Structure 1
């Protein structure tokens, strides 16, 4: 079945391939006073949902130039607990443990200050990965099916959790697909540093690559505590005018109307327009209007 956010397609769910279930997460700023999450039947089976959770976030976090952010991956670099969420994460985000064979794990029992806008859990920041080969980069790669169209935002979380000696320095630069991305960066001791993509990034030939490479003055390899990757999704179709949605729902309640397809947005998408309604639909960015019932 398809998953819609208001009148716009968000994702396709195939539970035949996902026997243990799946979850979808998105950061989205509503453009109206109501929000519909719709499961749209596309085959012979009936769509189903186990839970719907909505969390308010701070306005200064997960900012994009345009579009919404659909979670692609959220990881903390550890070989211990399989995942972290509430109460460790005040927003109940789920952080999955992730580690590569060529990495070495670093840990601290000290408290890491996580009081920036993102507030990743302290337990996720108390571990980190560094390349076992001190001269090697720390690399994270993933694939994309639509390299020409897919855009990503990356949020990386750093905190120095080792006790450095007076003659030791940790400094590194960040690269996206081998192009300079940010740096040089020296993580602050036991205090979070979050680096966010300045704009949406694309990937070459279907392969995305993010690397941390030590600088010439650094005596220590790069370090990464946690990271989040989001795919940009555009929702161009405007929702039906708020006042008219409120009016038609009042009519539905007053006259106890029961029509099976009176769900979701009344006018759009066109193929799901409510029975017996006529709507005026002009530009995709202009809210449709109900013209008759």
Structure 2
């Protein structure tokens, strides 16, 4: 049986509605159908994942969530947000677990079942190295490492760990008391594709062996603003009055970048604007909709519809003052007033 393929993204919606676009890439045969089985939305607490991410301009793409010492995947109902945590049993490492209750809370709210297992170095070793089998492409990443002291026999005193992602030290922490947790976070940029290790080192004088319970890695990606609200409304009104391509009735006119609506071309401003509309040779029927004049950044209209040309398209100084060219020669019947 094939395991379902799924993708996640953590983002803040900028409007009261959202759309999803699926498209074949250049490596996919045209005979293959583009399809989706289901989509799921999960609201997160407002403080989650915000330490190094400005959700006004960015989103998070998960690369891995690891539960060290676990034997099975963890997700809902253990994780109320239905995040998938991969189990990782590390050879030549000591595994720990507990059934006791934790004190305090963690900003990203990992499930308790993830925190109740851990791996640690062997006795006498002052360093724990976890090699990642995930290859991270070039980019900017957010990391969170979860350290919960579940060792009931741990010795008190000056127990200090240094935490490294790759060759970069992201934190130096004092190990928490029994059944308390810490979650060092970091934002790192990689200029090349790399396999990133996690390394935890016990400082000289510490009485505890280094350990780790769980870790997360996300790529921070820039989010382009949705198409100018006036252009979206104009496209919707045009779709209400003219027999336009099916995709005009849903989705964002200009997004994803490079994949706008059929017969629409947009610029690369932020937010993007509709600059060309091609209404020729598409089997379209109906009259020229006056709402075309509401596309205030429009520079070219190729038209094959009936009726009057809306005054806003031809009067200088009005909504289309930067309008450059109108193709009306193919109109079956039009009047310019």
Residue 183 of structure 2: aligned partner: 194
Cα pair 2:70 2:88 within 8 Å, conserved: yes
Alignment of 1:66-145 (within 5 A): 67-80=58-71, 82-113=72-103, 115-142=105-132, 144=135
Residue pairs, 1:201-240, within 5 angstroms = 201-202=189-190, 206-235=194-223, 237-240=224-227
Residues 165 and 20 (structure 1), Cα distance of their counterparts in 2 relative to 1, 3 Å cut: closer
Please, what is the CA RMSD of the aligned residues? Answer: 2.9
Alignment of 1:140-155 (within 5 A): 140-142=130-132, 144=135, 146=137, 149-155=138-144
Could you tell me whether the CA contact under 8 Å between 1:238 and 1:288 is conserved in 2?
no
TM-score by length of 2: 0.69
Superposed displacement of residue 161, structure 1 = 0.9
In the alignment, which residue of structure 1 is the partner of 2:246? 260
The DSSP-based 3-state class of the residue aligned with 1:245 is helix
Aligned residues: 268
The alpha-carbon deviation at position 136 of structure 1 amounts to 4.5
Question: Alpha-carbon deviation of 1:50?
Answer: 1.7
Q: Could you report, residue by residue, the CA deviation over 1:36-73 in whole angstroms, capped at 9, with x for unpaired residues?
A: 22110233211121221111112222123453211111
| Structure with bigger RCO (C-alpha 8 Å, 6+ apart) | 1
Instruction: Verify: 1:39 aligned to 2:22, yes or no.
Output: yes
1:286 aligns with 2:271: yes
What is the aligned partner in structure 1 of residue 47 from structure 2? Answer: 60
* 3-state SS of 1:84 partner: coil
Unaligned 5+ segments in structure 2 are 275-294, 304-337
CA distance in structure 2 between the aligned counterparts of 1:287 and 1:188, rounded to whole angstroms: 52
1:18-40 deviation digits (Å, cap 9, x = unpaired): 95331111112234443322110
SS at match of 1:29: coil
Gaps of 5+ in 1: 1-17
Partners of 2:155 and 2:207 within 8 A in 1: no
Which of the two has higher C-alpha Rg? 2
Which among 157, 161, 166 is matched to residue 146 of structure 2? 157
Deviation at 1:173, TM superposition (A): 0.9
Change (3 A) 1:49 1:134: farther
Runs of at least 4 residues off by over 6 Å: none
Helix, strand or coil at the partner of 1:151: strand
Query: How big is each residue's C-alpha offset from its partner over 1:133-177, in whole Å with a ceiling of 9 and x where there is no partner?
Result: 54142222335364xx32221111121112235567643111122
Q: CA deviation at 1:278?
A: 6.2
Checking the alignment, whether the CA contact within 8 Å between 1:157 and 1:195 is kept in structure 2 is: yes
Contact conserved, 2:136 with 2:196, CA < 8 A, in 1?
A: no
TM-score (norm 1): 0.79
With over 3 angstroms needed to count, the CA separation of the structure-2 counterparts of 1:166 and 1:272, relative to structure 1, is closer
Q: Decide which structure has greater strand share.
A: 1
What is the CA–CA distance in structure 1 between the aligned matches of 2:145 and 2:154, rounded to whole Å? 25
**Of 172, 177, 185, which aligns to 1:183?**
172
